[in-house]
Amino acid sequence: MAVAGDNELSVRRAKELNVPLYTDYKDLVNECSLDGVIIALPNRLHKEVAEVCANKGLHVLVEKPIASSIEEGEAIIQACARNNVKLLVGHHRRFSSKMTKLKEIISSGKLGEIVGVNMLWVLAKDRSYYSESWRVAQGGGPLLINGIHDIDNLRFATGLKIKSVYAVARNSIRDK
């Protein structure tokens, strides 16, 4: 086990786990004996790192969203399939007791046939969360980074496949 990163969190995590710290993830995957990796980086970096790791035969757990674009996401899926490694996207909300209860209720048939869903997630993140430019720039932002939870929750709870999505957005809070 090891940690790759060049910030304070990486240093703290390596110390907590009492493992080596690498400033370059490629050195880590080339020098350490690993079964898999956890990729928790800005979205724009997921594809490159996932492909490098998959090509080394390492199983991949990538933080959601899988990538910044459909094409990059498909490339990650193909790299993992080509190298016969497991790929998991970190959708942690589906494991909450509320979501598993909702799935149980829907699966029981008590509600009848689901013909429409209206979802609302109300949570304000600390303003400091948005100080990272990649969280508000193209390839990031609240819809891609957080909206993906709602889509995953909907798919998980209902078992349905989404055919189309329509969204309207405005940015009146952060002015970016």
Q: What is the mean pLDDT of the chain?
A: 87
Condensed to tens digits (0 to 9), the pLDDT of residues 46-72 reads 999 999 999 999 999 999 889 988 999
Same domain flag for 27 and 53: yes
CA 42 to each of CA 16, 52, 155: distance values in angstroms, whole numbers, following the listed order: 23, 16, 24
With bands split at pLDDT 50, 70 and 90, how would you rate the model's confidence at 138?
low
> Tell me, what CATH number does 86's domain have?
3.40.50.720
| Same-domain pairing of 83 and 110 | no
Q: Which domain holds residue 136?
A: 94-158
**Can you read off the two tokens belonging to residue 75?**
């490339």
Q: How confident is the model at residue 166 (pLDDT cuts 50, 70, 90)?
A: confident
**Whole-structure pTM over 0.85, yes or no?**
no
Q: How far apart are CA 77 and CA 168, in angstroms?
A: 29
